[in-house]
Structure formats: C-alpha cells, structure tokens
Amino acid sequence: MTPFAYHLARDPADALAALTAPGGNIPLGAASFLAGGTNILDLMKENVARPMRLVDLNQLALARIEETPAGGLLLGALARNADTAYHPLVRSRYPLLSAAILAGASPQIRNMASNGGNLLQRTRCYYFYDTGTPCNKRSPGSGCTALGGLTRLHAILGASEHCIATHPSDMCVALAALEAVVHLRSARGERQLAFADFHRLPGDTPQHDNTMAADELITHIELPPARHAAHSAYLKLRDRASYSFALVSVAAALALDEGGRIASARLALGGVAHKPWRQPEAEAVLQGKPAEPAHFAAAAAVLLAGARGEGVNDFKIPMARRAIVRALEVAAAGTPGPACREEER
C-alpha cells in the first residue's frame, strides 16, 4: 500500500470535513472513506486505489436498522451486510434482500462489509485490477483491455466502446428491484436518490461508477413498505457453488392478487451491466397477467432487448433469459425458505 494518513471521524460532519482538512493540502477526491475496508484495502494493495488519507467512519452512529413512519425500513450505511441479511425485519419483509446479501462474498466479508460500502464497491473486471494494462475506468483515456479480451464477467447490456465492466454487487440487484432510496449527506445538506439513479452506465466516463458527488457521504438506505415478501427469489448463477461473483443473477419479486394474477412485478439483473439492470417496460409486460412461463419469457425478452455479447460472454444472453424465467417461476411458487436439502436437525 502507498503510505496514507489516517483520520478517525467523530461524526458525519467531521468525516465530511476530513475529506479535505485538516492539513489543508488534500484536494477533494484524494481522500477516501473507510468502513468495512474489504474493497478499498484490496484495491490499495493492488495499487489501483492510492488515497492520501483514509477517513475511518466506524465510530459514526449509522449502524442501526429501524422502521420508518411510512412502514418501510431504514438501513444504516454502517450496518454490516451480515447483520442486515439476518435482521428479523429484513428476513420477514424483504427476504429478497436477505437472500441476495447471503449469495454474495463469504461470511467473513459479510461480517465486515458495510451497506454503504456495498453500493460503492468497484468492478471485478480483471483488467481494472491489473495496473499493467490500459483501463478507462482506472486510468481515463488509456483504453479498454477487456474489449477483445476475457469477458466472462463482463457486460451484455448498457456497455460502451470505452468500458464493458459490470457492477459486482448482489445486494444492489435486490435494492434495485425493491426501489430503495439512497440518503446522502454533504456540507451542502442532505438529499435522496432513487436507487435507479444511483449507479450509472459507463458512456465515455467509466471512471464514475455512480452519481454521488465527491463530497458526499451515504448515511442510510431506505426501503419502501414491502409488497413482495411472499413471492420473491434471488437466483445467482456462477462458476462455483459459493463465494464467486455472478455470471448472471436475477432478483424477481411479484405481488399476486386473489385470482393469482400479477398485481406488481419487479425484475433486476446482476452481472450483466455497469449497474443493476432494470427496465420498467419488462415489468409492465407482466402486469395483470397470470403467473405463467409464457409471460415470464415475454418479460425476459423485453428486459434483454439490445443485449450484445463480446464473443466470450455471448453465453450470458440465453443464460440470462432462462434465469429470468426460472427466478419468476420460483417467486410465483412462493419465496423459498432457507431450507436444507437434507432433513433438518
């Protein structure tokens, strides 16, 4: 790691001030926040990130999970991924979020990683991590080595000629489907961002993963009142049974009326784009329809419209189509419990 200064923040205002002061000569963007550390420290060891100062957020009172007056949940940015996934209210009202978090990383990392940090994790593109190769995300203007390279983890939707990286989070796929709201704070005040507007597509500025300003801090992630707890599924397809990034993942959530017709549908994909991939038009296809595979396939076709592989990752297009149908079938049958294959003890 390149040497850096360390500042233990007392409160959010102190954390925000420490992005540039004290010491004076730290330009905005040269300091980074430190929460769980699981991604930033890894990137620092690889020399991909070289902050001049780390501002440790771990003493901030932002680790609570509490109900909102509207009937939703407010997830503290510093609540750990494991505590969020296993929280009784998350499990009962948002089993999709619980399942998505538990599909990601390892138990050790979930114990460390914060909710805010999960949103801010960088891509796992091999070339982004390899400082010996050009990468527009790591070094803007240098080129993209993934184009024409190994693209097993790379995008089939929303990519650009400058970047075909994917966002690696599982949690964020569920948060997109659940229409979470990100609460941000800066010295200028507080604001809220719809989850769909938080992450962005690469375009010609792939160095920016999201639309946060450099002087902002995530304080909370708000979940609106739950509608889909009884019919949701997170399906993750990967190269190993566990502890591997998604080739394709699907967050599917349905609300069914008394007649079994779809009153509300949510669909988001992971592993396929620079952000969790969601298209309201695909969900509209399911509105008012019976929960049947033919309609699921029609929704998949809309969600995957315009999908394009890079050769190596062409397989992800039919894989995603089938995964969407499968996830919707599972959701329609009822949210799967955390069942063991063998007899329970």
- Dihedral-angle region of residue 255 (phi above 0 means left; psi in -120 to 50 means alpha; beta otherwise): beta
- Per-position x/- string for 68-107, each x denoting binding to other proteins as judged by CB under 8 A, each - no binding: --------------x---x------------------xxx
45 contributes a contact to other proteins by CB under 8 A: yes
Among 42, 179, 215, 329, binds other proteins (CB under 8 A): 42
Binding mask 234-273 for other proteins (x = CB under 8 A): -------xxx------------------------------
Window 117 to 176, contacts with other proteins (CB under 8 A)? none
Q: Which residues contact 88 (CB under 8 A, 6 or more apart)?
A: none
Minimum gap (Å) between residue 207 Cβ and other proteins: 23
Return the residue of 38, 118, 121, 136 that touches other proteins, per CB under 8 A.
Answer: 38
Question: Which residues, 6 or more positions from 1, have their beta carbon under 8 angstroms from its beta carbon?
Answer: 41, 44, 45
Stretch that binds other proteins, among 109-117, 148-156, 225-233, 286-294 (CB under 8 A): 109-117
User: Which residue's CB is nearer to other proteins, number 55 or number 119?
Assistant: 55
CA dihedral over 293, 296, 298, 303, signed as positive or negative: negative
Task: Count CA within 13 A, CB hemisphere, residue 262.
Answer: 28
Q: Nearest distance from residue 211's CB to other proteins, in Å?
A: 27
Among 22, 141, 337, 342, binds other proteins (CB under 8 A): 342
Residue number, 23 or 290, with CB nearest to other proteins? 23
According to the binding rule CB under 8 A, does residue 21 interact with other proteins?
Answer: no
Of 78, 112, 212, 285, which one interacts with other proteins (CB under 8 A)? 112
Verify binding: residue 227, other proteins, rule CB under 8 A.
no
Please give the Cα distance from 124 to 146 (Å, whole number).
12
Region binding other proteins by CB under 8 A among candidate stretches 24-32, 162-170, 291-299, 335-343: 335-343
Rule CB under 8 A: say whether 294 interacts with other proteins: no
Q: Which range touches other proteins (CB under 8 A), out of 35-43, 156-164, 166-174, 256-264?
A: 35-43
> Is residue 9 a contact point for other proteins (CB under 8 A)?
no
- CA-to-CA dists, residue 121 to 146, 229, 230, angstroms: 19, 27, 30
Nearer to other proteins, 61 or 340 (CB): 340
Q: Which residues bind other proteins (CB under 8 A)?
A: 1, 3-6, 8, 34, 37-38, 41-42, 44-45, 54, 56, 58, 82, 86, 105-109, 111-112, 241-243, 340-345
